Amino acid sequence: MSLARIALLLALAMTSASASATVVDAKPNGFTIDNSVNVAVDADTAWKALVEHVDDWWPKAHSWFGKSGKFQIQSRVGGCFCETAGDRQALHMTVSFVDPGRLLRMLGGLGPLQGMGLSGAMDWRFEPIADGTHVTLHYVAGGYTTEDLVKFSAIVDHVQGEQLNALAEYLSKRAKP
């Protein structure tokens, strides 16, 4: 990926709607991010929305192929979080741990991080609460790069907040009678 494309993607991320999120730690070689939201559906419903309906809610602005990209998550070890658009294909992450309704872990670098040679571990955690489910998106990313990853951490945090909020909005529409 060219530096111009990376700059464009980062600029788009910075101009998108704000999201509630937390950079837990950021160093020149990596960062840890936590985003969480409560949704008014049970954990199984939230889980199914993540793994079976990701294409219905994933923001197309955060896609390799824009509106033509179709997303899928194969919820099995070795499964693909992939995007396709005809013959064009992207492996966003690989599934490494599945505990349905509780935890989905995927490995890889999202967006520009992948082209920079970085990797990470992303957990989607689902915890039942009195009026629904507490969903946490936890991402630890890093590796060798000539870039200072501290400057990327807030941008990635913001984008992941948008992704989690998109899932929450999708679920809120399903929770209404």
Domain that holds residue 51: 3-175
Residue 13 contacts residue 158 (beta carbons within 8 Å): yes
A 10 A CB-CB count for 76 gives 10
What is the token pair recorded at 171?
């679920």
Question: How far is residue 38's CA from residue 18's CA, in Å, rounded to a whole number?
Answer: 17
Residue 22, pLDDT score = 87
User: Whose CA is closest to 168, among 17, 50, 83?
Assistant: 50
* pLDDT per residue as tens, the chain (177 positions): 434 334 333 433 333 333 356 899 999 999 999 999 999 999 999 999 999 999 999 999 889 999 999 999 999 999 999 999 999 999 999 999 999 999 999 999 988 899 999 999 999 999 999 999 999 999 999 999 999 999 999 999 999 999 999 999 999 997 665
A 10 A CB-CB count for 167 gives 23
Question: How far is residue 10's CA from residue 30's CA, in Å, rounded to a whole number?
Answer: 17
Domain count, the chain: 1
Per-residue pLDDT reduced to its tens digit, 92-131: 999 999 999 999 999 999 888 999 999 999 999 999 999 9
State the CATH number of the domain containing residue 58. 3.30.530.20
pTM here? 0.86
Per-residue pLDDT reduced to its tens digit, 53-64: 999 999 998 899
The H-assigned helical ranges of the chain are: 3-15, 43-52, 54-57, 112-115, 150-175
